Structure formats: C-alpha cells, structure tokens
Amino acid sequence: MNVDVLIVGAGTSGLVAGIASAKNYRGTVCVLERNPEPGCKFLLSGSGQCNVTHGGSITDFLNHYGDTKKARFVQPALLAFDNIAVTEFFEQRGVPILEREDGKIFPKSLKSEDLLKVLVAELRKQGGILQTETVVENITKTDNGFLLATNRGEFCTKKLILATGGQSYPSTGSRGDGFRFAERLGHHLIEPKPVLTPVIVRNYPFAGLSGISFWSSKIEVYRNGKRLKSGRGDILLTHRGLSGPGILDLSRDIEPDDELRISIIKPEEFTPEVFTGKKTLKNALQRFDIAERFLVQILDSFHIAPDQPATETNRETRKKIELALTCYPFIVERLGGWNEAMATGGGVVLDEVNRKTMESRIVPDLYFCGELLDIDGNTGGYNIQFALSSGFLAGNSLQHHS
C-alpha cells in the first residue's frame, strides 16, 4: 500500500498527529496500530479518568519535564497546541472539561473513553485512515521515502511520523519498538528507563502501614552522601516502599542505593511547645496531622510509650522524634519496573530532532512525537499534554517540508 503520510502508533500522540496531518497535508494519511483498538494507554490514564492536562499558564509547564534543556525542547510544541487549545478542542466536540482545585484537568464525565472517541472521530472526519491490528516490524529508508514491513504486508510512504510511545505498561502496545526503529534509521538513544515509578525501600519498616499518606512533604535525594535533588509533594506508604506524586515525580533522578530523606513536617514546626500541656505524647504529636498508626510505630521503634505524658519526654527522646519527623532516611533498593512505571525516561536524543517541527535532523521526512522522545513529564497531566502537543506539531509541520 502506498500512502503520503504514515503514522506508526494510534496512541495519544499518533491520533493527534493523524488529525493534524490529515487536516493540513494534501494526500493520504494512514495511522497504523498494532492493537485491535486505538489509544489503549490513553484509556487507562489517570485510572481511566484521564488527567489530560493541567491548568495555569503554559509557560509554567516548562519546569515539569526535568531540566532546562527539556524545557527548551518542549516549548514550541506546547505553544503550538497548549492546555487551553486542548480543553477547547474537546469542549467544542461535545465533551465538557473540568479543572480540579489542584489544577489537574479531566473530562467532566471522568471517563477517558469520552476523550478518545473525540480523537478517533476527528481523525476519520479529517479523512485519516486508521488501520488496526497492524504491527510494524521493520522500517527502511528508501530513495523517495520509507518502506515499512508489517504483518499485513508492506507500506510505502513519503513522510513518516513515529508515535510508538515508550516502553512502560508494555501490555498497552508500547513495547519500545520505536526505539529500535529510530536507532536503525540512524538516531541515538538516551537509555530508556522506567520513570514515574514507585521506590522499593531496603529493610522497609512500614509494610504494615501501606495506604498512609503524608501531604506536601519535602523529599531529598542523596547519593554517596551528597544531596542531588529535592522536591516537595504528597507521599504514599506502600507495602514495599514509597509512592505518591512527590516520589513519582522525583523517580527520574533516583537510583538504587540512593538515600531519600523525608521531612513529614517542617523543622520549624517542631517547637518545645509540642511537649507542654496535659496530653499524652501520642496525642501531643497529633497536632502535626500525621496518622496515629505511623506515630505509634515510630515511638515503638524508639521504645517510647505512646501514652506517656508529653511533658515527661526527655531531650534525647525529643531529638529522636524530631529527626524521624523532619529527616526520615530510606535507602532505595530499586525502582518499580516497566509494568509499574507510568512513563519512560530517556528515548530519542533531543539534539537530533528539530524542536520547532519534530522532524529528524538526521533523516529528512521522518518525525517523532510523544514518549518516544527523551521527554518525560511529572504527574498532573504533563505527559498527555506533551504527547498531544508534539503530535499536533509533527502533523502540522509536514506541509512546510513537502
């Protein structure tokens, strides 16, 4: 089959790349997808509710992709199809959108399928072809385009957009194929790794407390005694270690054997006043709004009776409690693997891609979008927003290079 534009992957970025290409490029546009249905990962995003983007100014998004180099790369795409444009896109097609107090944006119905239906309908409306159950196995550059070998025969195309996603949740169809294709076409990779993933802690003492959360805690990452990174966010105790947005967002910078120091409360909150009055020690500490079961376990670990009068807490004991609440150390055994990670760190090297068009700087007429690139965002809608924006920019840029 001969087409003018081929998009590999009908996921988040591929569907938008298809819509934009079909709208803007004269010629046949076809999106190939290995699964029987498109958008498998999009559907399960945000626990099936789809946190599609975030509120606020799009320039505030730039800090949510790791470092300044990443911020520079994502900027043109984010500006081309920003969070307001995304919201309007869905609302104008009949899906009301809701911004939560924490800035996360969802469909009002809290059903990702409502958004997916819009993407698929729009692709068809613009004349794009969606061909499912088609696994791209190999890609070769030819004199006038690309030749794709699939389980359904060969496809020839002038322009190729790779939208194969990353490698996390491989059951959704994103199994890292795009990394292989990109390398074969001459691109280099930053070694892909699971990110937005929980941390498994060595000799973890809180397995029995899984489900307890701490709000807006400070998290510091130490490697060989040196502080590498710090952040603030909610933390969830799991049966094997730590999760929650604060941990997930830092996970791209965490490695096995790192030490995480967690401040559940601010050091300045721990005043001598805590130990005055007629309360028991446990009750006195509850002013910090920390789950009682956690406090009791901490006190037990120091062999301190939770019901002793707070006023009878000696200096040494106060110091121990203070350290536990303001600087609790955890040693990282490992990070959650591909089946747990919500995104892929690493990917196609950014210097090899034109950030203003998403076109390869190595192979003309080859474009990249979504998680396949060395971009991963924080929790809060930043990954889907980048996938949508980069897909849009890739599809929209074709005309300028025809």
Ligand X SMILES: Cc1cc2nc3c(=O)[nH]c(=O)nc-3n(C[C@H](O)[C@H](O)[C@H](O)COP(=O)(O)OP(=O)(O)OC[C@H]3O[C@@H](n4cnc5c(N)ncnc54)[C@H](O)[C@@H]3O)c2cc1C
CB of 266 to ligand X, least distance (A): 29
CB of 91 to ligand X, least distance (A): 18
* Cβ distance to ligand X smaller for residue 25 or 169: 169
Query: Looking at the DSSP assignment, which residues form a beta bridge with residue 328?
Result: 262
CB of 2 to ligand X, least distance (A): 18
For residue 114, the one-letter residue type is D
* Cβ distance to ligand X smaller for residue 166 or 241: 166
Residue nearest ligand X (C-beta atom):
11
Closest CA to 14 of 141, 166, 151, 147: 166
Token pair for residue 383?
A: 């990954």
CB of 224 to ligand X, least distance (A): 32
* Cβ distance to ligand X smaller for residue 245 or 370: 370
Closest CA to 395 of 80, 3, 147: 80
CB of 198 to ligand X, least distance (A): 12
Token pair for residue 257?
A: 């054997």
Residue numbers at the binding site for ligand X (CB under 6 A): 8-14, 32-35, 40-42, 44-46, 50-51, 135-136, 163-165, 168-169, 172-174, 177, 342-343, 370-371, 381-384, 387
Can you give 153-211 as a three-state secondary structure string?
EEEEEEEEEECCCCCCCHHHCCCCHHHHHHHHCCCCEEEEEEECCCEEECCCCCHHHCC
* Residue in this structure with the two tokens 């927003």, named with its chain if needed: 385
Q: How far apart are CA 325 and CA 313, in angstroms?
A: 16
Question: What is the DSSP-derived secondary structure letter of residue 47?
Answer: G
CB of 168 to ligand X, least distance (A): 5
Residue 11 in contact with residue 165, Cβ under 8 Å? yes
* Cβ distance to ligand X smaller for residue 161 or 219: 161
* Cβ distance to ligand X smaller for residue 285 or 346: 346
* Cβ distance to ligand X smaller for residue 66 or 381: 381
